[in-house]
Amino acid sequence: MKKILIVDDSPTMRRMVAAALQELTAVIFEEASNGLEAVEILARGGVELMILDLNMPDMHGLDVLRFVRSHGLYKSTPIIVLTTKYDSESKQSAVSAGATDYLTKPFEPRLLLDRVSQWVNSK
């Protein structure tokens, strides 16, 4: 089973993301409501892909990205940023910090599924 970590401070958004990805087989979802919780889950290991919001309490998504990329275990793990930030500066900051892909909210469920499938099936 492949584990996908969904990190968003909104429980509704986490449920929407998981619902959009329900077609994936052999995948389990783990959820984090903030960046610190995400780091704790990552420390336990086994995450193969992360979907990450930028605007969260405790630890901003960019800080999570930088932290994750600075540790060998998750240096090449796909991280898809899913955020409300449409501006090119936010996208460039996320990519520079190590984002594999960048999508904006509201998101198209099929597009998210396609992007996640691309990364999950490439491993």
**CATH number of the domain enclosing 65:** 3.40.50.2300
Nearest-5° angle of CA 21, CA 120, CA 81? 70
Residue 121: predicted pLDDT: 75
**79-83 β-sheet, strand order:** 27-32, 2-7, 47-52, 79-83, 101-104
Per-residue pLDDT tens for 55-109? 998 899 999 999 999 988 888 999 999 999 999 999 999 999 999 999 999 999 9
Q: How many domains does the chain have?
A: 1
Full-prediction pTM beyond 0.85? Answer: yes
Range of the domain at 41: 2-121
pLDDT tens-digit map of 3-57: 999 999 999 999 999 999 999 988 999 999 999 999 999 999 899 999 999 999 8
Q: What is the pLDDT of residue 21?
A: 96
